[in-house]
Amino acid sequence: MMSELVDARELAKQLRVTPATVHAWHRRGWIPCLRAGRRPVLFDPAAVEKALRERAENRQGVARDA
């Protein structure tokens, strides 16, 4: 089941980062989003947290291998 979709400002509040950070992560393809037309871009907070957690785990694995 999908959680409630939120915009970048609300997601930023939940993650305790700035909206600019959320947009940067989105542009880099680090977090998933849903588009309703060209704009607005909406986010599923649970999917975003999962993507960020997986990214952090992958980066730790790379650092250990180096």
Residue 2 lies in a domain: no
3-class DSSP string for 22-61: HHHHHHCCCCCCEECCCCCEEECHHHHHHHHHHHHHHHHH
Domain boundaries, position 30: 8-65
Mind listing the pLDDT tens digit for each residue in 7-66?
999 999 999 999 999 999 999 999 999 987 877 789 999 999 999 999 999 988 765 554
First-to-last C-alpha distance (Å) of the chain: 38
Residue 29 lies in a domain: yes
Nearest by Cα to 5 from 55, 41, 39: 41
Residue 3 lies in a domain: no
Look at the chain and report how many structural domains it folds into. 1
Long-range Cβ pairs for the range 22-30 (8 Å, 24+): 25/52, 30/55
Residue 17 lies in a domain: yes
- Token pair in block for residue 31: 């977090």
pLDDT of 44 reads 96
